[in-house]
Amino acid sequence: MNKLELRWLGHACFELKYKDFTVVFDPFEDNYVRGFGALDVAADLVLCSHFHNDHGAASVVKPLEGHVNPFQVTGIQTFHDPEQGALRGENVIHVLEADGLKVAHFGDLGCQLTPEQLEELQAVDVAMIPVGGFYTIGPEEAAALIEDIQPRVIIPMHYKLGDLGLANVAEVWDFLSLWEEYVEYPGNTITVDKNTEPQIAVLKFMGNP
């Protein structure tokens, strides 16, 4: 059975492996985000939702070559703030599809989505959604978005956890308090296939240099 493997590298950065192809989302500059050091990761494809220092440091990812990209990649143009980009610019939600599996990384989404955009995000198997607020949608807005699109596996990101993360954003627990159930993983990796149970998956930051 086809399986996606996702590894949380801190903040909004994830490594996605499918077959022999590796994608990295939203890499951050070394030591730019409090508590997150330097990334040590390689990828065939790097996707950045925008090019602020904590999301657009594609140059820190080592390149991989020779693997065929199995994904159909779609970019949904959104905004980094509720004022149509006037405060922080634009943001891209990246949607990847392969062999009946669909993944969406929401980047620094800071606005409500249109009905047409919500329609594009139906039947998502894994959604990586910011929940910390201030720079992005906050806990309640993230919960409303989840209700609208009903992804099967939700991975919260872009939050503060103790001394980790941006100082101005909310703790992950502010988001988790809105739900009756969630799954705390002992590590930073989750494997998803068509049989994975619906869940909110809280991955653990395992550190970087």
What's the CATH number where 24 sits? 3.60.15.10
| Per-residue pLDDT tens over the stretch 138-182 | 999 999 999 999 999 999 999 998 888 999 999 999 999 999 999
| Residue 65 is assigned to a structural domain of this protein | yes
Mean of pLDDT values over 193-208: 94
Does residue 209 register a pLDDT over 80?
Answer: no
| Residue 79 is assigned to a structural domain of this protein | yes
User: What is the model's pLDDT at position 133?
Assistant: 94
User: What is the model's pLDDT at position 84?
Assistant: 77
What does pLDDT average to over the chain? 94
Percent of the chain with pLDDT over 90: 84
| Per-residue pLDDT tens over the stretch 80-119 | 777 876 677 789 999 999 999 999 999 999 999 999 999 9
Domain with 173 in it: 4-202
User: What is the model's pLDDT at position 159?
Assistant: 96
Mean of pLDDT values over 22-40: 94
| Residue 86 is assigned to a structural domain of this protein | yes
| Residue 208 is assigned to a structural domain of this protein | no
User: What is the model's pLDDT at position 139?
Assistant: 97
| Residue 140 is assigned to a structural domain of this protein | yes
What gap in Å lies between CA 34 and CA 197, rounded to an integer? 33
| Residue 96 is assigned to a structural domain of this protein | yes
User: What is the model's pLDDT at position 86?
Assistant: 65
Domains held by the chain: number: 1
